[in-house]
């Protein structure tokens, strides 16, 4: 690999570091806002923990998709799921931001990362559907575990992402457990 390619990849990594500074509406168990990078890490860990039940998937592709699914948020930030209807062009903005973010990368790496993100967004392949389901489940898990504001809308989580989590028995089982926890948290409000 030549020096310019290495420098381009290091520049990309330096710019992607900002994902650690992008705050989500989710709160950690200590009460601080969770970063998008933290969400991404636990999403990949969630996929890894249940890999043995997802043998039908290209698992390398699943992990790669977990890592890139929110990379576009590095530049414009996160929009909470409950507010997405107020941002109809979020996917366009995120794609444009990803194009800018990956501009220092060599081909075909740049196209590969963009392709993974587009596959995730389309949600048509088995891998994309699985990552979308796991993404929703990780978010709900964090909402159930975090110290949330008093007005937190737990009811939203009871149906959030069902179109993906209903597509596999494992995801349905995880969802049932998380919904039970969500109801317990809601009843304590």
Q: pLDDT at residue 175 above 90?
A: yes
Residue where the block lists tokens 């317990």: 184
Q: Which CATH number covers residue 159?
A: 1.10.3210.10
Residue where the block lists tokens 């200590």: 30
Q: Structurally, how many domains does the chain consist of?
A: 1
Torsion sign, CA atoms 117, 21, 139, 161: negative
Closest CA to 56 of 133, 125, 145: 125
What is the rounded average pLDDT of the residues 146-174? 96
Tens of pLDDT, residue by residue over 7-23, are 999 999 999 999 999 99
Q: What confidence category does residue 82 fall into, taking pLDDT thresholds of 50, 70 and 90?
A: confident
The whole-model pTM stands at 0.96
User: What is d(CA 101, CA 38) in angstroms, rounded to the nearest whole number?
Assistant: 19
Give every CB contact of residue 164 below 8 A, 6+ residues apart in sequence: 123, 129, 132, 133, 136, 171
Boundaries of domain holding 172: 3-22+32-188
Q: What is the C-alpha R_g of the chain?
A: 17
Tens of pLDDT, residue by residue over 13-61, are 999 999 999 999 999 999 999 999 999 999 999 999 999 999 999 999 9
């Amino acid at each position: 690999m030549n020096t310019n390619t290495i420098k381009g990849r290091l520049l990309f990594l330096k710019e992607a570091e900002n994902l650690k500074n992008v705050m989500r509406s989710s709160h950690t168990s200590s009460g601080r806002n969770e970063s998008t990078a933290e969400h991404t890490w636990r999403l990949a860990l969630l996929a890894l923990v249940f890999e043995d039940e997802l043998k039908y998937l290209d698992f390398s592709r699943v992990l790669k998709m977990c890592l890139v699914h929110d990379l576009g948020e590095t530049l414009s930030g996160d929009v909470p799921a409950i507010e997405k209807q107020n941002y109809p062009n979020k996917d366009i903005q995120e794609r444009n931001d990803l194009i800018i973010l990956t501009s220092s990368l060599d081909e075909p790496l740049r196209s590969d990362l963009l392709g993974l993100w587009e596959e995730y967004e389309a949600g048509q392949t088995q891998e994309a559907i699985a990552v979308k389901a796991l993404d929703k489940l990780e978010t709900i898990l964090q909402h159930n575990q975090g110290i949330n504001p008093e007005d937190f809308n737990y009811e939203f989580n009871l149906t959030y992402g069902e179109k993906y989590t209903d597509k596999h028995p494992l995801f349905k089982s995880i969802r049932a457990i998380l919904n039970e926890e969500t109801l317990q948290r809601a009843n304590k409000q």
